[in-house]
Amino acid sequence: MTDENKNAYQTEAEETQIQQTEDAAGEQADAAPEGQQAEPDPVELLKAENADLKDKFLRLAAEMDNLRRRTERDVKDAKAYAVTAFARDMLSVADNLRRALDAIPAEARAGGDVGFNALIEGVEMTERAMLVALERHGVRKIEAAGQKFDPNFHQAMFEVPNPEVPANTVVQVVQEGYQIGDRVLRPAMVGVAKGGPKAEAQSGAAETAS
C-alpha cells in the first residue's frame, strides 16, 4: 500500500469515528424525556423561601399591630361610655327634681315657713350633687342658649319670632342637653329665633362697618 493510499484510509477511518460519536450523542439526546430541565439551584430556592417567609412575617406583624390598636380603642371606649345608660336614667331623675322646683310658685317660696324652705333647699342640693357626680364621670351639659342651632346637639321644638336676633339662634332651652365624652347623651330641646338677619350677613355687615 502506498503512502498516499495509507493516508486516505486513515482520514476515512477518523471521519467514520467522528460520525459514530455524533450519532451516539444524538441518540442519547433523543432518549432523554421531553421537557426535562436542569435541577434548580438550591441557593436560589432558599432565597425565594426566605423572601416568602419575610413577607408573611411582615403581614402578621401589621395585623397584630392593628389588633392591638383596636383593642386599646375598644377598652378606652368601654371605660368612657360604660355609664351611658346609668347616666341617662339619672338625668331623668334630675329632670323630675327640676320640674318639682320650677312648679313651686314664687309667692310660696317667699311666704313659706322654715321647714318648707329647708325642703326646697334640700331638693336643690340633691339636684346639684347629682349633676356634679355625673360630671365626674364625663357627663357635661351642652351649652345651648345663645348658640347657633346645631342639629347634632340641639332638637328644635318651636320657633320664636324675633327680628332682633339672628335667625336660627337658640333663644330658649326647654330641656337641658348633655354629652358624655364626644357623644351626645341627649340633645338639648330648644326654641330658635326666626325672622332676624342671617348670622353670616350680620357678621359681614359688622366687618364692613369696622
pLDDT digits (tens, 9 = 90+) for 147-163: 999 999 999 999 999 88
Q: Which of 137, 166, 194 is the last residue of a domain?
A: 137
- The total number of residues shown for the chain amounts to 210
The per-residue pLDDT for range 99-157, each reduced to its tens digit, is 999 898 888 888 878 888 899 999 999 999 999 999 988 899 999 999 999 999 999 99
Q: How confident is the model at residue 41 (pLDDT cuts 50, 70, 90)?
A: confident
Q: Is residue 8 part of a domain?
A: no
Q: Is residue 1 part of a domain?
A: no
Q: Which of 137, 167, 189 is the last residue of a domain?
A: 137
Q: Which of 89, 121, 137 is the last residue of a domain?
A: 137
The total of structural domains in the chain comes to 2
The domain in which residue 118 lies consists of 54-137
Write the CB contacts of 159 (distance below 8 Å, at least 6 apart in sequence): 191, 192, 193, 194
Same domain, 174 and 150: yes
Helix (H) or strand (E) run with residue 1 in it = none
Same domain, 123 and 59: yes
Output the domain CATH number for residue 81.
Answer: 3.90.20.20
If you search the block for the grid coordinates 493516508, which residue do you land on? 7
Q: By percentage, how much of the chain surpasses pLDDT 70? A: 76
| Model-wide pTM > 0.85 | no
